[in-house]
Amino acid sequence: MINEKMYSLGSTRSKIRELFEYGKTLAQKIGSENVFDYTLGNPSVPCPEEVTKTIISEVQNPMIHGYTSAQGTIGARKAICDYNFKRYGFELNPDLTYLTCGAAAGLAITLRALISSPNDKVLTFAPFFPEYKVFAENAGGSLIYSKCDESTFDIDFLELEKTICSDVQAVIINSPNNPSGTVYGEETIIKLSKFLNDKQREYGHAIYLITDEPYREILFDGAVCPFIPKYYDNTVVCYSYSKALSIPGERIGYVSVSPNAENAQKLYLAIAGAGRSLGYVCAPALFQAVIEKCVDKVSDSTVYKDNRDVLVENLTKLGFTCVNPKGAFYIFMKSPMESAEEFSDIAKTFGILVVPSDSFGVKGFVRLATCVSPDLIKRSLPAFEKLAKELKMI
Amino acid sequence: MINEKMYSLGSTRSKIRELFEYGKTLAQKIGSENVFDYTLGNPSVPCPEEVTKTIISEVQNPMIHGYTSAQGTIGARKAICDYNFKRYGFELNPDLTYLTCGAAAGLAITLRALISSPNDKVLTFAPFFPEYKVFAENAGGSLIYSKCDESTFDIDFLELEKTICSDVQAVIINSPNNPSGTVYGEETIIKLSKFLNDKQREYGHAIYLITDEPYREILFDGAVCPFIPKYYDNTVVCYSYSKALSIPGERIGYVSVSPNAENAQKLYLAIAGAGRSLGYVCAPALFQAVIEKCVDKVSDSTVYKDNRDVLVENLTKLGFTCVNPKGAFYIFMKSPMESAEEFSDIAKTFGILVVPSDSFGVKGFVRLATCVSPDLIKRSLPAFEKLAKELKMI
C-alpha cells in the first residue's frame, strides 16, 4: 500500500513550482524575453569568492569527504558559536549546536523533537513558509497561525492572544520574513518574549521559540535583526547558509539550542535522535569545512536592495500597494482585486509570474521574488504598466 | 514537552559509536599505537582523482550551488540510468529516479512512502544495519527479521516462510551485506523473486523489494551482484556513492523505482512527498554535478581485499572462525564465547575494538571493519594472538 498522504504531498505541486513550470512553457511559446518570472527564491548573486577558494583548497585532501560525527565537526560548531558571539555578544554552546542539511532539515528535526502527542500544536504568524505545516504534521502535531497586522506584517498581539492555547509547544518566527520582508524590531521581540513567558507560567510548560532566520544577513535601510536568545531563554536558532552564502542547493545550516533553555541538553539529544530517525547521518562534510572557514562571509546582496527600490517605486507609481520590505528578497504586494489567484492569472497573460498569497496563509496579496536580474525588472515594467491599464488602475 | 522516543534515540549511542569513543579515550591512556580500532565503516581509501578534478572545475561557476529540482538535476538522473543500463542491461527511468542525501535518506523516505498503518511491517534479514528499525518505526510501522543460515549468511527460505506475514509491505535486502560480507548470488535472487511473487498472489497486494546496495562495487573473488530489477518487478533500488566513491560524508545517492513496479509513478510521487515531509529539499547540488560526471568511477578498493585476506588467514590460524566475505569491507567472526558482548569486552583489554553482533539482530558474532590501514592490521596481529592465548584457544 502506498501512503496516500505522501502521494498527495508529492503529486500536489506547490503553487510556486506550478507557476515556475508554467513560466518555462510560456517562454517556449512567446520567447523567454517576454516572461517575467518573479516566483522562485533562488539567490541571484554568486557565492563569495572565499567559498570557491576554500572548496578548492579543502579537496586537495581526498579524505575530506568522510563521515563526520552526527552533530558535525567540532571545528564548524565552534566557528559558528564564535561568530555569533562576536556579532551579537551572546554565547551559544558548540555542544548544543547541530549541523543540518539546511534550515528545512533543522525545522523538521526540531519539531520532531518537540512534538509528543497528536494534540501538540506549533504556532506561527501568517504569512508563513507553507512547509511549516508539512513539517509540523510529519512530526505528529499540527500547525496553527496568528494573523499579522496587514499594514506592516508585524505581530498583532491581540490576534496572538486569541490564537495561542495550552497545546502550543513551539512557536516559529521568521524574520526577515518570507514572503513579507518584515523584520521584527527589538520592541516586538521584547513584547513577544514577555508574552511567551507569561503563557509558560499560565500553562505550566515550556514554549520553545524556533527562529527560522535564513535571511538574517539580508537587511536594508539600517534595519537590525535582534538575536533572539538574548531576549528569550527557550530559544532554538535554526539557521541556513543558503541565502547569506548563496549556496541553497548545498544544504548546510545548523540548529542551536540556547544554553539558557529549559532542559537544553535533553532537547539537544532529542534533536539528534530526530536527525537519526529521519535519516540525516551528517551534514555534507565538504560544506562543514566551508562553514568553518567562511562563517563570517556574506554574498554581496546590494542588488536585492536595488531591485526592491526600482520595483517598489515603479509599482507604487502604477497604483499598486507594496509593504516596503526591510529585509530578505521578496516584495509582498496587495492584489488590486479581491482574489489574488485571479490577479495572478491575469498577470500571467502579460508574462508576469507572481505567487498568490493564499498558500502563505493570507488572502489578497502576491509575492514577487526580487532575486532576479536588474535587467529582467527593467524589461518587466512596461508589462506591469499594461497590467495596470487592463485593471483600469491608470 | 520533549519527545521521549527521540530523546532516547539521541542519547543511546549505538554500540559502534560507543566503542569508537572508548577507543579515543583508550588511545590517550595507552597510546594510539596500541589501539586497534575495527569499529567504523568509514572508507579508508581516497576518492577517485576525477571527483576532485570535477569539483574544482564545477566550482568555477559560482552559481552551481543553487537549488535543483527536488528529484535532482535531469543530467545526474540520466547519467545514473545510462550507467546502470551499460553495466546491467536494464533500463531504469530518469523520471522514476530521485537523488537523495545518501542511502539512509533514501531508505527513510521510501519506507515513509510505503507504510500507511501501524500494522504495516518491513521485513529484513539478520544480520542487518540497525537503523532499518529506526527508519521503519519513524515511518509509522515496525521491522521484523528472518534469520539467515549462520554458516554462509545466505537467505534461509524456511525461516523466511515462518517469518513473513500479510502485513509485510516491503522487504529490504542488503547485498553485499553489512556486517557479514555475504553476496546473494543469482540463484538466491531467483528463489527470492519467486517466493515474493507467490506471496504477493497469496496476500493480494504488492510487496516492494528495497535493495540497499552501497557496497555493490566492492566485490572479491569474482563474486557477481545481480541487478535486482531484472529479477523482480516490484523493486526499488536504494544506492549511495558513499563507498564506491569514498565520499560518505557528502550524502549523495539515489532511489530508483523500477519501471516494471506496480503503481511505479504513484510510488515515485509518494517518495517525493516523503522527501518533502522529512525536510529534504534537494540532494547537495555540487555532488549532483559530481555524480553526473563521475558516475562510472570507483575508488581503488584492492586494499579492502588485501586486508580481508591477511585478517582471515591470521585469525583462522589462531583458531577463530570467520565467514569469508565476498564483498563490502567487514569480517563477521564467530565469538569464541557464547556472549559476543563479553568477548568484545575482553578484546578491549588487548586494545582490540570489535562490534558485538547483537545490535545487528544476531547473537554470538563480532564485526571487524576492514577499511583500516594495512599497517594497523599488521600491528594488531600480536594482540589477537595474546587474546587467543587468554581464551586458551592456542
B4 to chain A: which residues are within 8 Å by CB?
A: 116
The predicted structure's pLDDT at residue B42 = 87
Nearest CA in chain B to A115: B3
Q: Is the ipTM here above 0.90?
A: yes
User: What are the DSSP calls for A40-88, one per residue?
Assistant: -----SPPPHHHHHHHHHHTTSTTTTS---TT--HHHHHHHHHHHHHHH
Q: What is the pLDDT of residues A293-316, one digit of tens each?
A: 999 999 998 999 999 999 999 999
A131 to chain B: which residues are within 8 Å by CB?
A: 276, 279
Q: Hey, is the C-beta of B5 within 8 angstroms of any chain A C-beta?
A: yes
CA distance A235 to chain B (A): 14
The answer for A 228-247 residues in CB contact with B (under 8 A) is: 245-247
Interface test with A, best of B267, B277, B359 (most A CBs within 10 A): B277
**What percent of chain A shows pLDDT beyond 70?**
100
Torsion of CA A78, A81, A83, A85, to 10 degrees: -140
A122 to chain B: which residues are within 8 Å by CB?
A: none
Contact B159, B134 (CB under 8 A): no
CA distance B57 to B34: 42
Q: Hey, is the C-beta of A279 within 8 angstroms of any chain B C-beta?
A: yes
Nearest CA in chain A to B71: A10
In one-letter notation, the amino acid at residue B11 is S
Strand order in the sheet with A142-147: A97-100, A253-257, A235-240, A208-212, A168-173, A121-126, A142-147
Interface test with B, best of A1, A3, A205, A271 (most B CBs within 10 A): A3
**Residue A124 vs residues A159, B90, B136, B276: alpha-carbon distances, Å:** 12, 48, 30, 19
CA distance A71 to chain B (A): 11
CA distance A372 to A356: 18
Q: Which of A47, A266, A275 sits opposite B2 (nearest CB)?
A: A266
CA distance A86 to B44: 38
Yes or no, beta carbons of A284 and B4 under 8 Å apart: no
The continuous run of DSSP H or E covering A367 comes out as: strand A365-369
Q: Which of A2, A52, A60 sits opposite B113 (nearest CB)?
A: A2
Number of cross-chain residue pairs from A and B with Cβ atoms under 8 Å apart: 266
Q: Hey, is the C-beta of B56 within 8 angstroms of any chain A C-beta?
A: yes
Interface test with A, best of B44, B45, B53, B65 (most A CBs within 10 A): B65
The answer for A 76-135 residues in CB contact with B (under 8 A) is: 101-102, 104-109, 112-117, 120, 131, 134-135
The answer for A 193-212 residues in CB contact with B (under 8 A) is: 205
CA distance B386 to B391: 9
Backbone angles phi, psi at B324, to 5 degrees: -65, 110
Torsion of CA A179, A181, A187, A191, to 10 degrees: 0
Encode chain B (394 residues) as per-residue pLDDT tens digits.
899 999 999 998 778 878 888 888 898 999 989 999 999 888 989 999 999 999 999 999 999 999 999 999 999 999 999 999 999 999 999 999 999 999 999 999 999 999 999 999 999 999 999 999 999 999 999 999 999 999 999 999 999 999 999 999 999 999 999 999 999 999 999 999 999 999 999 999 999 999 999 999 999 999 999 999 999 999 999 999 999 999 999 999 999 999 999 999 999 999 999 999 999 999 999 999 999 999 999 999 899 999 999 999 999 999 999 988 999 999 999 999 999 999 999 999 999 999 999 989 999 999 999 999 999 999 999 999 999 999 999 8
CA distance A168 to chain B (A): 10
**Count of CB atoms situated within 10 Å of the CB of A91:** 14
- B111-122 burial, b at 16+ Cβ within 10 Å, e below that, comes to bbbbbbeeebbb
Nearest CA in chain B to A52: B59
Task: Dig out the grid coordinates for B186 from the structure.
Answer: 543469482
For the segment A8-36, the average pLDDT, to the nearest whole number, is 87
The predicted structure's pLDDT at residue A20 = 82
